[in-house]
Amino acid sequence: MANVMPAVLRVHPNYVAPEILLQYQQASGAFETLYTGNPLVRLGAEDLAVYIKRYDVRTDASIGQNSYNSLPSCSITYSEISTSTYLVRTRAEYDHHDTAAFGRTGSSIVEAQRLAMRQGVFQQLRNGLLYGFNPIGGEGLLNTNGATATSLPADSNGNTTISTYDNGQLAFFLLQQISAIKVRTMQVGLPAKISVVTTQRILAQISYQGIVQLTQYQRQGAGSKSTKGLVDDVLGWNDDYISWGADDTLIGKGIGGTDVILITMPEVKKPVGSPINTNAFAELTPGLVGCNLMYCDVAAPKEIVAPLPGGAVDVVSEMRTTPGWSVRPETLTIISAGY
């Protein structure tokens, strides 16, 4: 990793601002699709795979006015699902000359390299979450087997791109996809969190430019709202919570080079009925309510510091992680939408 600190010429007298103008990268909203909003810190440093135990139940019972000697039975089948783990690593090397040169700029080379390495590791985690490290194996949310994949249909005017789409009809389409997730997961009537991740340009279009006509929606008092605002309102009426995130790596990842709108429910709630519960088997503990998972061995990358010849320092930053893993594919909808 290079540390380029060239000499500079300044006019005197002068004033040097103490703040440093930094290059900002996009802070991805993709991790909001995960159960708890973060990877689960549960792996050992050398664990090579993660397994989840699974029960499949089939129930039956006799019914009649007389008792039966031959009775049906319930069947419980055990199976396991699994995913691989990967070690993400990067390094920094510098000596006392680099440290002194960096100090002239008013900052610490140790902290700068640490944050740069963390950014690199976290960007790889984002890639693994969305696309997997081995996509052919079905890794990553966008490669999930069993996920619902669809394309943005034409509106009543024949438009098929976000920038030309009827704003009200776009809101209704998004609400239709969200309600379909709740139906597939039997969560209708239960408050849920919905996470939507898409590109900045689509998010900006539905947030700032997509104003819904008064003939389609009018909020209390007077006036209309954006496409995003309408979706927020409807979910609020149903006690649902929705988060919106941006990630520009989704540009061109849809069918035919379109952008992707990823809609998911990161966590399900156990449907219950009291006192008679037709979902009683779900009360078996411990039960997993997470839908989209990612496991790692540490909350932040660990750093291994070692000396190098000539007085230099070598720092290796590493973190073991799984790819994004949707263990309940029915909670995931992938929409391909041209901008």
- Residue closest to 83 by CA, chosen among 148, 141, 147: 141
Instruction: Answer yes or no: is 96 within a domain.
Output: yes
Instruction: Answer yes or no: is 212 within a domain.
Output: yes
Per the structure, the complete domain to which residue 109 belongs is given by 30-61+73-271+284-337
Length, in residues, of the chain: 339
C-alpha 188/C-alpha 181 separation (Å) is: 9
Instruction: Answer yes or no: is 184 within a domain.
Output: yes
How is residue 207 annotated by DSSP? Answer: I
Instruction: Answer yes or no: is 21 within a domain.
Output: no
The tokens describing 273, both together, are 């009925």
Instruction: Answer yes or no: is 258 within a domain.
Output: yes
Q: CATH number, domain at 201?
A: 3.90.1690
How confident is the prediction along the chain (339 residues), in pLDDT tens digits per residue? 578 888 889 999 999 998 889 889 889 999 999 999 999 999 999 999 999 999 999 998 888 888 888 888 999 999 999 999 999 999 999 999 989 988 888 889 999 999 999 999 999 999 999 999 999 989 999 999 999 999 999 999 999 999 999 999 999 999 999 999 999 999 999 999 999 999 999 999 999 987 887 667 666 656 678 899 999 999 999 999 999 999 999 999 999 999 999 999 999 998 877 788 888 899 899 999 999 999 999 999 999 999 999 889 999 999 999 999 999 999 999 999 999
Instruction: Answer yes or no: is 232 within a domain.
Output: yes
Longest C-alpha distance within the chain, in Å? 105
Say how many domains are in the chain. 1
SS3 216: coil
Instruction: Answer yes or no: is 1 within a domain.
Output: no
C-alpha 144/C-alpha 132 separation (Å) is: 10
